[in-house]
Structure 1
Amino acid sequence: MTPAILSAPAPLGSALVEPFFVHRETIGDISHHDMSQERTTLRLFLEVCGDKPADAYTRSDVTRFLNTMRRMPVHYGKSQKDKGRAVVDIIAEADAKESKRLSDKTVKRHHTALSQFFRCAMDEGHIAVAQHGELVGKHRFREERKARDQRDTWTPEELRALFASPVWTGCHPHFRTQPGDQVIGDAKFWLPILALYHGARLEELGACPCNG
């Protein structure tokens, strides 16, 4: 009988970390700061989801990791005491103190690093193209806007009141808030109309060359 040829076991995720960073440094032109952040991401991922072959990870692993990062305190990594501490202990302390948690912008950065790692694993033949898409594709993140952009939408009644004002119905030639027989087609007249129909911010419309 011909002896069976045993294939080498698939390497664990931890074994792919250093080759990944060699690739990132030589081809990705990544800074040392970004590389340090990506190392943190992979260390946390292996802790949360376990060290197993790349093709053994599932989408639910990635989802669990991202949700775990959402529970991490916003100050994570800024103190020496965090080094060596288990994720579950850090989160437990954050729960007890009701600490502010990582923003989804930061969680998305962890996702990007993880996506790069699995892309490298795909390029090296450890996972299939379809599995890469299944692992990291189309995860959702909360859009975070500045307070000034978090304004309530105008109600129909408020819009009717606005456009019933003298700027649009007729105003005094020198005092725009006073009724009169002048309709002046300048920025005060057009910008609110453009913002209503195009959904852009007033400062974006105001910067348009046509308004210069």
Structure 2
Amino acid sequence: MWDRLRSDHCLGPNGILAEIDAEGTDEPIIAIASTVPASFVQSLPARAHALGKRVTFFDIPVTGAEKTADEVTLLMHGGGEKAVFDRCRPAMDAVAREFLHVGDLAAGQVTKLAIDQILWIYVSAHFILAVSVQNRRSRSLLVSQYPGSRLCKAVPPYSVGTDLISRVIPSSCMATVRFLPLRAESTSSLVGA
């Protein structure tokens, strides 16, 4: 479904390319700011050519949110021809704090994916630490209140220490990562209580 919607938006009868005059003297530039599969972005030039449209594409998936858009502090990683990138820089500088050329068409998508994966590694590390700290506390509480219970056996007696987290997250990033402790009550759903 998403592939069809993306294709219709760009290539369909009411899409972006339908508005482009094939006889025009200027070759329009279309910047794909959505986070989409790299293969989709790479397919656009050939698909536009098949429709008789002369157009240049580059991809600039955006990193940021509504607040960063309002504050003009978005981060964009552009993939495409360097000359096109340089030509579009004034427009991109108006909406982004950084506009970086990272390679050929679709390289922006790949870079955005890598950044998102790194972010989620940090989020996962935080979750592992928070759950392991609570796991240790919860197990101690369970063993003291319900010795020999099957529930105590469901909560392993091990935990992940902060030393492991410090090996997962570089020290240069630790200042930006905040670990929020879970309350003991919030772990009951994790251990099936």
TM-score w.r.t. structure 2 length?
0.28
**Structure having the higher Rg:** 1
Structure with the higher fraction of residues in helix conformation: 1
Greater percentage in strand: 2
> So what's the TM-score if we normalise by structure 1?
0.27
